[in-house]
Chain A
Amino acid sequence: MRAPRRTPSRAALRRSRAARPWLLLTPALLVLAGLLLYPLVRVVVISLQDFSGLRAVARGTAEFIGLANYREVLDDRQLWLTVLPNTVVVALVAVVLTVVVGTLAALLLETLGTMARAATTIAILSAWAVPAVTGTYIWIWIFDPVDGLVSKAAQFLGLVPPGGENWFLDRVTFFTIVVLNVVHHGFPFVALTVLAGLLTIPTEMVEAAKLDGADAWRRFWSITVPMLRPVFAVVTILSTIWDFKVFTQVYLMPGGSGQNREVLNLGTWSYVESFGQTEYGTGSAIAVVLTVTLLLITGVYLRTLFREGEL
């Protein structure tokens, strides 16, 4: 009589212990599933439908048309001549500059004394903390064609005709300002992460290299870079993801919300197609293209993490 009674209670105990992590996880997983995964599936479904106009929105579904939206997007000259270069080239330039500036800042921080390093860290953090929205407005104001600081200075020096020049109209100058904004916002993360990595390099190693007569340049490439390879991999990949999907910094710029089609990138194009033209199907197809690109980059990121055994 006793044994059968004890066995189920122990099993029940074990079951309740096994259930506890899932009990704790369920609320979070439900939210993530309902608000991130389900919409992710939904955006793929919509991209396969003739989903346009507010009627389709009200019904929540539309007729399936296969890959027509993708064909439309891929056949669009705008994609190849404007949108992709605006996305890929801008991301590449921004990533390279972000990592270079961040690394230089980290190397500089490492040489500073405690007080100077703390003060400079706070300065760098405050650049990081500027919200994308206000940061973008600040750069627009600095480059304002009529009253902006840069315009005033350039007019004073006679570099541009009086009355100023509108840098927001030209694609190259437009994205130069975007890159400046993105690098300003993104390099602090790289600087502080690389600094944390630099501080883990044993000083004996550097001292030994100095004794062997290696100069700073040589030490950087022969010690710092190989030692910090995983750190550089992570900051480069994360910066790539962030810079590929930059939206606010482009959308808020003058002409960036669709008026000037020369300056669309994948993110803003998708948004303008959907909410400007109510072509949700096409917009979703563009969003899927962007997502797939980013997931591929994420795959590389995960593999790097796994190789470092961080999980």
Chain B
Amino acid sequence: MRDGAWRGVALLALWLFTLFPVAWMVMTALNPGATSGGAMPTGVTLENFRFVLEEGGFGRYLMNSALVAVGTVLASGLLALFAAVAVSRFQFRFRTSVLVMVLIVQMVPLEALVIPLFIQARNLQLLNSLLGLVVVYVAFSLPFAIWTLRGFVAAIPVDIEEAAYVDGASWTRMFFSILLPLVAPGLVATSVFSFITAWNEFVFALTFLADDSKYTVAIGLRNFFGQYGTNWGAVMAGSTLITIPVMVFFVLVQRKLTAGLVAGASKG
């Protein structure tokens, strides 16, 4: 009985710690008094959302972020799938070396690369362009995507592929008619992760983008500090617009993603 009471308290504390910051963000975003510094909710309004979207130009930032994220997802999904098939379906020299290299580059602190990539992007005239960001984000999301997709590909029984060959299919035919449909759920899960990487990224967006019209959401939020003093109602409304899609995606795919990693661990 006493044990149960403790568990109740612990559970409550856990819920409070995990959910309170997000709840506070949404409450402030909906609070009409938050623009003038009031912390306590005084009512419910969509005024803060209207303000950030219409006067704060946040619609533009959302559009930019969506473009960058979709570009990243398409490019990195394709490259990662090819690479994942290579490392989980073929035995070749240096296979383990390639895998280890992919794991190591994943650990490289991206902040350390911001200086050389800034110089490279400047020389290639890719600064202040969304394309430049896509190129960089593809590289960042690729190692994780390869590592995860490898698990999903490995989980598909080889027998199915062999059956396709017996029926006279070429490798390309087998890839598109058998492997691709079967690995699709894994591809979706991995894509969501690449999407989130691109959507959330801050340092490179901060360094690369100079022009207000090119801003992504992560740095667009800074406007509500400089331009208007700190309008917390607006900052939290913008934060809500950034956070909620990511949260929904994340909760939906996380289970699948872990399943892929586990499958990779046992079968790769």
Contact = CB atoms under 8 A, between A and B. Distances in A.
A68 interface: no
Interface in B21-61: 21-22, 24-25, 28, 37-40
B120 A152 contact: no
Interface string A287-305: 1101100110110011000
B205 to A, nearest CB: 10
A133 B202 contact: yes
Contacts of B143: 32
Contacts of B122: 57-58
A192 B143 CA distance: 22
Nearest to B242: A134
B108 interface: yes
Contacts of B105: 32, 36-37
Interface string A230-247: 000000000001000101
Interface of A: 18, 20-22, 24-25, 27-29, 31-32, 34-40, 42-43, 46, 57-58, 60, 104-105, 108, 111-112, 116, 120, 122-135, 137-139, 141-142, 144, 146-149, 152, 184, 188, 192, 196, 241, 245, 247-248, 251-252, 267, 270-271, 274-275, 280, 283-284, 287-288, 290-291, 294-295, 297-298, 301-302, 310-311
Nearest to A39: B116
B218 interface: yes
Given A274-B115, A287-B115, A126 B22 contact: yes
16 contacts: A25-B98, A27-B79, A29-B98, A34-B139, A108-B7, A127-B19, A130-B243, A133-B239, A134-B221, A138-B239, A139-B21, A248-B203, A271-B203, A283-B115, A295-B104, A302-B100
A283 B105 CA distance: 21
Contact of A24 (B83, B111, B114): B83
B14 interface: yes
Nearest to A291: B112
Given A267-B109, A280-B115, A123 B21 contact: no
B21 A142 contact: yes
B83 to A, nearest CB: 4
Contact of A108 (B14, B115, B171, B218): B14
A297 B40 CA distance: 45
Contacts, number: 241
B18 A123 contact: yes
Name B's interface SS: helix
B92 interface: yes
B5 interface: no
B116 A46 contact: yes
Given A126-B247, A295-B104, 14 more contacts: A20-B86, A21-B86, A27-B82, A32-B102, A57-B122, A108-B11, A126-B251, A129-B247, A130-B243, A131-B196, A131-B246, A134-B25, A188-B18, A248-B203
B182 interface: no
B103 interface: yes
Nearest to B207: A275
A149 B33 CA distance: 14
Nearest to A58: B122
A40 B251 contact: no
Contact of A120 (B11, B95, B104, B250): B11
A39 B117 contact: yes
A111 B258 CA distance: 21
